[in-house]
Each structure stands twice: as C-alpha cells, then as structure tokens.
Amino acid sequence: MNMVGIITKKKLGQALDREEIDFFVEGAAKQTVPDYQLAAMLMAIRLNGMTAQETTHLALAMRDSGDVADLSAIPGIKVDKHSTGGVGDTATLVLAPLVAACGVPVAKMSGRGLGHTGGTLDKLESIPGFQIGLSEEDFVRQVNEIGVAVIGQTGSLAPADKTLYALRDVTATVDSLPLIASSIMSKKLASGADAIVLDVKTGSGAIMQTLEGSIELAKAMVDIGTLAGKPVSGIVTGMSQPLGTHVGNALEVKDAIDVLSGRTKGDLLEVSLLLGSHMLMLAGAARSEEEARGKLTAALDSGAGLEKLRQMIAAQHGDPAVCDDWTLMPQAAVIREVKCGQAGWVASMDTTALGLAAQAMGAGRIRKTDPLDYSVGFILPVRIGDRVEADTPFCTLFARNEIEADAAEAAVRRAVTIGDAPVERPPLWYAIVTKDGIRKACIIASDGAGGLFPDRTDMQSKNTL
C-alpha cells in the first residue's frame, strides 16, 4: 500500500476502505508520510467528499492514533457537550455545573480559542489560580467527588488530528465537511464520554454560516457517533449574534456567574437549558425535555448550580470568591460606555467581526502561542430586533488603553447594523438531529441568505424551550 495510490483513488472520487484510511492516518500521526502528500490527500477529500462510512472510519482512526480516556471508574452515564465555536458562547460554564447539580457526572475536556471564537479553557484561566491541567487519575477523582471537572485535552489525544488540522489551516481545506466532522468527533470519542450532545452553530459567527450546511454537519457527526456505538444528539443553534452579552475571557466568566446566580436571563441561559436538557435525557436522568428543563431550573433557582461552579473552581485551585466578586479577576485599565447614537431597530450583526474586534483588543489569539489579556473585551446588551434610541446604551468597552478602545468602538459599530424598520428576533435553535431523524423548528421567515426556512418535516416543534 502506498500513499500515491490512495491519493489517486480519492482524486478520482472513489471511496477508500478502512485499511487505506488507517494507512493515511497512521502516516499523519507518526509523520511517516510527508506533508505534501498529506496536503494532497486533504485537498482530494475537500473536492470529492467522503461517504458516511469513510468519515466514520476517518474519525475512529484519528481517535485510535493516540490515547483514549478511560472514564469507567466514574459511575453513571458520562455525557459530553461540544460546541462548534462562536462568540460569547459561555454555555459550558453554565450547563456543566447545572447538569452536575442534577446528579449527572460531567467529565469534560475543552479547548482553547483561535481566531474569532473563544475557548473555554482561556475563560477558566482568567480565574486566579485555576488549573486546567489534571492527570487522568485526578480528573476521575474530582468528578467522583463533586460531579464535575473541565480540563484541557492531553497532548496524546488524537495526534493525527493535530497534524492534519495544522495542514488544513494552510491548505484551504478547513471548510471540508467530512474533515470538520471527523476532527471534532475523533477528539470527542477519545475523551471517553458515553454520550455526546453537539451544539452546532449557524449564522454569521459560525464555521458553517448557512442553515443547510450546519444541519448537514450535525447529521454527519451524529452518523459518526451512531456508527461508533455512541448516542449523539446534534442541536443547531443560532450564531447570528453573540450568544451571551459579554465577549472576552473574564467578562464571559462574569456572564456565566450572573446567569447561575439568577441575576440575568436571556439567550445564554435558554440555550444552556436546551443543551443541558438533552444531556440529562441521554444520561437517563429525564424522559423528556420538559422534565429535564424542570430539573435544571430547580438547580438554578436553588443556587445548586452556582455552588457546583464554586466547588469546581476550588477543586482546580482557583479562587471561588470570584462567584461573589468578579473584580477579583483581571480588570481592564480603560472602561468606556458607548451610546447607540441613533434611533431605529438593531437589524443585523456580523458576529465574526465582533469576535475579531475582541481578538484585536487582546482577548483572542491569531496563533496558538499568542498571549491573552484576560481583562479586555466588551459587553453588548443590544440584540437583533431591539428598538433603540440615540441615548440607548450600545456597548461597554474594556480596553488596555484609549487608542485600542477607539479602534474597538469603531469595529463594534461597523459590525452592528441599526435600521429604520422592525426586524424579527432570530430563533435560538433551528433543528435537533438524532439517529432517528431531523426535527426542525417551525420557522416561517427568510433573511435572503438561506438561513431560515419553513418547517417541512413531520417532526414539527415550536421554537420555544
């Protein structure tokens, strides 16, 4: 077997067998296949696609290229959650403690932010002293003791994916659906969870910006999980605006604390309850979304969710007092209140541009080695569909200096369109994908970008939680 023959076969649009995929992946993991051949293979996959069976084989081969976590010492069904990435997406910090407070163990490995999207680990590290590196033994012990842990992925997890991901970034093959699906699922399957809930974003801040593409990605990942013998649910949620109102690492931790303390409601809470409900159902802790939501809401109202976050922070050597005083986290030198400056309705947001504005302030990184400023970012309280006046608060900037605050204000203003006519608020979710089919929300609207459509399935649902 040789790499040229495998590349040629995929170049001609033919399906690869398991042995050919294993050879390709092993070459990537052990670096026995040169980068130029790996790059050629990636482009052949990007141009000709893969069948569901091929994509599953690719995900499993990448999973098996390194260590696979053994969580069998943790009783119960361990359910993981993964987001395809977005702006202001702090759902993990809300739902992980809430789900754990409902008695379902949450043993989660998360990643860092890159580009316009934020990373859960970066947010957690804005908490003084918080440690994201635990041994597998300590990871399991913490989950058994308090029910929840969120840590970084080990360096030996899916090494083939690390090699191929780096090449995809420089060969214009990032937007390949089978490569995206297999990359995500290889790491999720290697993380040792018994079941997985996928939060697949759609809209201006998502990796897949059309609804059709997002549903297709969700289905591909559910298919991989099903063929791998794991229960998987894919929920397509909106990213046409930041999920939470806070963007930036310490600010997003504050947003999660505000939600868990009951001080704020809104989209971040609602999406967290939706995802958390499906986690409880996959764990067998609830029979319906309504029952699961009731349990999560009870944990929220009683303060059990916030207490679980405190316990996790303390267990991972952070300062749990941040749950009562967020100013114990890094604070920006410049804080600027900005008004809307005009009357109208918030018509749209370029969410990727908003993420890049935070990145330019120092909240994100262009390269994985870039340092972060945990204190910077912005609070954007306006939402699409809101009526605003000239003196309505538009955003609050947290910057390192006045020059960067000026640049950030200009960037945020460019990213948010205020129009003369009322617009509909975008839905929180669009579809739920399982092995049994696709349930689409009842949406009767069109934004001219292929993002919204009427429900055309027999599995209809109101777009409420």
Residue type, 280: L
Same domain, 261 and 342: no
Q: What is the pLDDT of residues 149-185, one digit of tens each?
A: 999 877 688 999 989 988 987 898 988 999 999 999 9
70 included as an active-site residue: no
Would you list the DSSP string of 5-34? HHHHHHHTTPPP-HHHHHHHHHHHHHT-S-
- Spot the catalytic one: 123, 168, 219, 278: 168
Task: Classify residue 60: in a domain, yes or no.
Answer: no
Same domain, 259 and 336: no
Please indicate whether residue 190 or residue 463 has the higher confidence score (pLDDT).
190
In which element (H, E) is residue 339 found? Answer: strand 334-339
Same domain, 106 and 226: yes
435 included as an active-site residue: no
- Spot the catalytic one: 176, 183, 191, 240: 183
Same domain, 8 and 121: no
Question: How are beta strands 377-379 and 393-399 bridged, if at all?
Answer: antiparallel
Task: Classify residue 17: in a domain, yes or no.
Answer: yes
168 included as an active-site residue: yes
Distance CA 234, CA 220 (A): 10
Same domain, 94 and 211: yes
CATH number at residue 341: 3.90.1170.30
Q: How many domains in the chain?
A: 3
Give the end of a domain, one of 299, 323, 347. 323
Task: Classify residue 63: in a domain, yes or no.
Answer: no
Same domain, 244 and 381: no
386 included as an active-site residue: no
Same domain, 14 and 97: no
- What pLDDT is attached to residue 105? 95
Same domain, 317 and 345: no
Residue-number span of the structural domain to which 411 is assigned: 331-419
What would the mean pLDDT of 86-112 be, rounded to a whole number? 93
What would the mean pLDDT of 208-234 be, rounded to a whole number? 93
- Residues whose CB is less than 8 angstroms from the CB of residue 72 and which lie 6 or more positions away in sequence, other chains included: none
Question: Which DSSP letter does residue 111 get?
Answer: -
Which residues are registered as beta bridge partners of 396? Answer: 337, 379
Same domain, 149 and 215: yes
Task: Classify residue 71: in a domain, yes or no.
Answer: no
Q: Is the dihedral of CA 27, 33, 37, 39 positive or negative?
A: positive
Same domain, 273 and 373: no
Task: Classify residue 237: in a domain, yes or no.
Answer: yes
Distance CA 183, CA 117 (A): 17
Same domain, 150 and 232: yes
Answer yes or no: is pLDDT of 448 > 90: no
Task: Classify residue 233: in a domain, yes or no.
Answer: yes
CATH number at residue 7: 1.20.970.10
- Spot the catalytic one: 10, 46, 57, 82: 82
- Spot the catalytic one: 122, 161, 194, 267: 161
What would the mean pLDDT of 309-315 be, rounded to a whole number? 98
Task: Classify residue 438: in a domain, yes or no.
Answer: no
Task: Classify residue 130: in a domain, yes or no.
Answer: yes
Would you list the DSSP string of 229-284? T--EEEEEEE-SS-SSSEESHHHHHHHHHHHHTTS--SHHHHHHHHHHHHHHHHTT
Q: What is the pLDDT of residues 327-372, one digit of tens each?
A: 999 999 999 999 999 999 999 999 999 999 999 999 988 776 788 9
CATH number at residue 273: 3.40.1030.10
pLDDT tier at 114 (50, 70, 90 boundaries)? low
116 included as an active-site residue: no
Distance CA 435, CA 281 (A): 15
- Spot the catalytic one: 10, 108, 187, 278: 187
Same domain, 312 and 370: no
